[in-house]
Amino acid sequence: MSRDTAKAPISKDLPPDAFDEDEDSAPESAPEPDTPEIDFDFEDGAVKAGTEIIRRFWSTLPTSPGVYRMFDDKGDVLYVGKAKNLKARVGSYARGQAHSNRIARMISQTAAMEFVTTATETEALLLEANLIKQLKPRFNVLMRDDKSFPYILVTADSEAPQIVKHRGARRRKGSYYGPFASVWAVNRTVNALQRAFLLRTCTDSYYENRTRPCLLFQIKRCAGPCTGEIALGDYQGLADNAKAFLAGKSNAVKDHMREAMQDASEKLEFERAARFRDRIAALSAIQGTQGVNTQGVEEADVFALDEQAGQFCIEVFFFRNFQNWGNRAYFPKADRSMTPDEVLASFIGQFYDDKPAPRLVLVSHAIEDVELLAAALSSRTDYRVDIHQPQRGERKNLVEYAQRNAKEALGRRLADTASQGKLLVALGQSFGLPSAPRRIEVYDNSHIMGTNAVGGMIVAGPSGFAKTHYRTFNIKSEELTPGDDYGMMREVLQRRFKRLVKENPRNASEAAAAGSEGGAREPAPDSDTLPAWPDLVLIDGGKGQLDAARNALEEIGVTDVSLVGIAKGRDRDAGRETFFVPGRPPFKLPPRDPTLYFVQRLRDEAHRFAIGTHRAKRKREMIKNPLDEIAGIGPSRKRALLHHFGTVKAIQRAAFEDLAKTPGVNAATARAVYDFFHTAS
């Protein structure tokens, strides 16, 4: 690949067909039949300026495949797109006619562009998916949740294979099975497999240091290979059976167990027969909770999309080895003008950016460049990936089942969003805000006698809690008196808003315009994209905490953010909270008011987040190792020293010569360790 970001002068003499493309590389901006076309006056301001900027780059572009990025005047990425012919595709944005609202807005905000040429269009498609997930441009379809899926791993790097839940890169040697839709599904399956095959789940260090069987052996969840309760050859046979079951040979495994149970019964070995009976029951439990059973689909992912009220839901079902391994609903962010097939195609490309696709992908909508997308997914595997929209039979039934789930999930989300919108309106009215808040920030501190002090900020909006926006603050000021809650709150707010002022300067005119509109109104339907600045800040505390917060913000020139203090009721009883708002006398909300319950949820979430962060920090301090303070001592050398000497005290007492003899420790490291402990003492 090569990259081109040079700015070329505007070409005044453009040929009549400068911005035409052939049918095989139709521009992304070409509207679908049901998309309204709008002719814009390109002599007008922002759109014309954006068009001229695009033309500067167009004049020097090659005709090769590649990826282009559009930037606004702040340097933020607006859009990432791929092209079979970069020159033709970019030229399509400057034709001056027949653009949808989305494309026109994007052009009007374009201030710069960057390009990467690729060898093939397939490579461009893969790069486009990578960049979209990394940069999250506002005009692309964005996955809301790109957390990796969990797998089941049967290890192959020890004498006794271990069965564990795995997420992330596949660096460990062994057999991987998945993906599963949730950790809950993995845990349920692993527990059942423990009962069925008696495989260990303990770590290698735990396994290597056992002198007698653990509790899992006693309750018949492990065969006890650590202490020789089972021969390693027999244990390997159990592991092979588990892998065969996970690989789809479930009936053969169960038949083998039935034969063994019958044989034990005929030999009057009823205890052994009962063990096989329990293992068969455990396997039946796994197969009996699949929800959707398939007869002819061994391995496939099913994608079904539903659209309501301008929002999209994509339900994904995972089928492996004729078993349903769960499903997950996604709510991608996409412009309302985009068609369902466009949203689905972009989503699938991003979905498989960090994971292999199965041999078969079933979709609910026809995808325009389906061959290109299939080729891109196949290039990441050693087999062919087929993308198919079934029209009949079992595959069609699976897609319809997934689409029904997508419709129900989106309906629930819209209902929850509507309820959340009503609560935000009521909250704005209760606290005298000019409109319903779109971003609420709640702050709380946590410490024990001033030690390990942290501040927590949680964020909520029209879609509920926005956990990706949560922040923690380690209290750093050495001038604070231990336990000074006012000082801690002052430090947290000043650090938060100083950074906010620097990175996202407040637009005073917009703030004033928003404040001039009377009456709280419900957030716009597309307001789930949270603004940078909060409309409401809730402080867990009474008048003193509120005054400290207000003074902290005034010191940095922030005076247009609404502040509310929440004082706990007598004996900390929920429902008796007193609210403090600057310029108003303290007041309470009715005990059964839904707004009160909403505020309590916000405050409790802030408290949970702050105290959880504090406990994690305190735990790290408690287990802190003196070796961590020595420069040049990383995890490997620390492990080598502890394995050689056993304890930190033994390392502290060791002579320099003994330290230098430690495997994996050189003379310089030994000198650093010796000097650290003897200087400190």
Residue 294 lies in a domain: no
Residue 439: predicted pLDDT: 94
Residue 284: predicted pLDDT: 64
Cβ–Cβ contacts within 10 Å for residue 658, how many? 15
Domain match, 611 and 638 both: no
* CA neighbours closer than 13 Å in the CB half-sphere of residue 659: 23
Which tokens belong to 162? 């271990």
Domain match, 465 and 614 both: yes
> In the listed set 288, 318, 335, which residue is the last one of a domain according to the structure?
288
Domain match, 612 and 636 both: no
Residue 72: predicted pLDDT: 87
The Cα–Cα gap between 275 and 193 comes to: 14
pLDDT mean across residues, the chain: 79
Using 70 as the pLDDT threshold, list the residues of the chain that sit under it: 1-45, 96-99, 144-148, 181, 248-252, 254, 282-295, 449-450, 507-529, 569-575, 621-625, 679-681
Query: For residue 478, what is the domain's CATH number?
Result: 3.30.420.340
Residue 516: predicted pLDDT: 40
Domain match, 584 and 632 both: no
The Cα–Cα gap between 374 and 349 comes to: 10
122, 66 Cβ separation under 8 angstroms: no
> In the listed set 361, 396, 411, which residue is the last one of a domain according to the structure?
411
Domain match, 450 and 599 both: yes
Q: What is the CA radius of gyration of the chain?
A: 31
Domain match, 554 and 616 both: yes
Residue 429 lies in a domain: no
Query: For residue 116, what is the domain's CATH number?
Result: 3.40.1440.10
Domain match, 602 and 665 both: no
- DSSP state for residue 568 in the 8-state scheme: -
DSSP 312-342: EEEEEEEEETTEEEEEEEE--B--TTS-HHH
Residue 17: predicted pLDDT: 40
Count of structural domains, the chain: 5
Residue 6 lies in a domain: yes
From first CA to last CA, the distance across the chain in angstroms is 58
Residue 249: predicted pLDDT: 65
Residue 459 lies in a domain: yes
Domain match, 477 and 342 both: no
- Residues 515, 521, 522, CA angle at the centre, nearest 5°? 130
Q: What are phi and psi of 456, to 5 degrees?
A: -125, 140
Residue 270 lies in a domain: yes
> In the listed set 346, 377, 411, which residue is the last one of a domain according to the structure?
411
- DSSP state for residue 201 in the 8-state scheme: -
Residue 457 lies in a domain: yes
The Cα–Cα gap between 311 and 536 comes to: 26
Domain match, 443 and 511 both: yes
Query: For residue 652, what is the domain's CATH number?
Result: 1.10.150.20
The Cα–Cα gap between 339 and 366 comes to: 11
Domain match, 284 and 365 both: no
Residue 17 lies in a domain: yes
Domain match, 449 and 522 both: yes
* CA neighbours closer than 13 Å in the CB half-sphere of residue 349: 31
The Cα–Cα gap between 329 and 347 comes to: 12
Range of the domain at 662: 626-680
Residue 651: predicted pLDDT: 84
Closest CA to 99 of 369, 343, 339, 337: 337
What's the predicted TM-score (pTM) here? Answer: 0.56
Domain match, 439 and 580 both: yes
Residue 19 lies in a domain: yes
